[in-house]
Structures are given as C-alpha cells and as structure tokens.
C-alpha cells in the first residue's frame, strides 16, 4: 500500500543543497521505502538512538 509522503520546508531546503545525482538517489530510496513499507522488517532503535523517536 502506498502512502502519501510530504517533505517539510526544511527538508526541501536541505535537498536543494544536494547535487542533482544525490538528490535523485534520495528520492529513489524514499519511493522504494514507500512502495515496500509493508514488507520491510522494522526493528526498535537501540538505547543510544531512542532520542530520535
């Protein structure tokens, strides 16, 4: 199932600072995650990364 993905203004600004090649790689990965989200094995963050939740 595809989901709707929106980028914040800050994310767009960050993407604009990347080269076109890198920016396309980011979009390609985001599209892949969106298309395969239900099949991805999700894991909990370890203790030193929990602050990102």
Domains of the chain, by residue range, sit at 1-39
More confident residue, 27 or 43: 27
Return all residues near 7 (Cβ < 8 A) that are at least 6 apart.
Answer: 15
Q: Say how many residues make up the chain.
A: 53
**In the predicted structure, residue 10 carries a pLDDT above the cut 70:** yes
Spell out the long-range contacts of 38-46 with Cβ–Cβ below 8 A and sequence spacing 24 or more. 38/1
> How remote is the C-alpha of 2 from its chain's centroid?
14
HEC letters along 8-39: CHHHHHHHHCCCHHHHHHHHHHHHHHHHHHHH
pLDDT band at 29 (very low <50, low <70, confident <90, very high): very high
More confident residue, 51 or 24: 24
**In the predicted structure, residue 53 carries a pLDDT above the cut 70:** no
pTM beyond 0.75, yes or no: no
The answer to which of 11-15, 18-22, 43-47 has the lowest mean pLDDT is: 43-47
């Amino acid at each position: 199932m595809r989901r709707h993905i929106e980028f914040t203004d800050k994310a767009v600004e960050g993407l604009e600072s990347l080269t076109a090649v890198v920016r396309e790689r980011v979009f390609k990965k985001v599209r892949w995650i969106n298309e395969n989200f239900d099949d991805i094995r999700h894991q909990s963050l370890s203790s030193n990364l929990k602050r990102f939740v």
